[in-house]
Amino acid sequence: MSLKKKLLSVERRLIAKLDEIRETHNHRGSRGSVAESVFRVFLREYLPPSNRVGEGEVIDTEENISTQLDIIITNEYHPYLNDLNGPGLFIIEGVACAGEVKTNLNSNDIKTLIQSCIKYKKLKPVIQNGASVFGNTEDINRYIDHRPYFIFAFQSQLAIKTISTKLKNYYSGNHTPIEQQIDSVFCLDK
């Protein structure tokens, strides 16, 4: 099987799961919770075992805390503090990235997600003395000092160009530094 066929197969499975969720759950909140769970299961299936996948809040040593996050992917250094069967508390130094899952992304979601990202990106990991980090300064600042944040949408009411424009307009209008911006948006139906 080619990589393209494999990815199409995975995409069809996720779309089928979304259809099942919509047919079995009437309440929007219930659909959202189940969709988040489906995406966490998907990530667990495809990520290496050292990257555990959970949900909850992320905290730093200054006790700053993120909003509740649908997806938290740990790195190999995160201690086993959570059983991952429900929301947990994660330490920023042990987080590889975090994100949000939307069944159907809309304009109001974009505003909320921008604020969630900014709060998460303000968390400051402490790099221990003697630790080595290699990369260019911009990448270290954006991906090590501020861990990546993404959005995954099963469907979107907005075109990709519209999402990009809304993000760019907010960031330029508010002089948001790149290290506090959303790193990626994935829309399954686009």
**What digits encode the pLDDT tens for the residues 35-79?**
888 899 999 999 999 999 999 999 999 999 999 999 999 999 888
* 96: Cβ contacts below 8 Å, ≥ 6 apart: 51, 73, 74, 75, 147, 148
pLDDT tens for each residue of 133-173: 888 888 888 888 999 999 999 999 999 999 999 999 999 99
Burial 149-183 (b: 16+ CB within 10 A, else e): bbbbbbbbebeeeebeeebeebbeeeebeeebbbb
Which SS3 state, helix, strand or coil, does residue 129 take?
Answer: coil
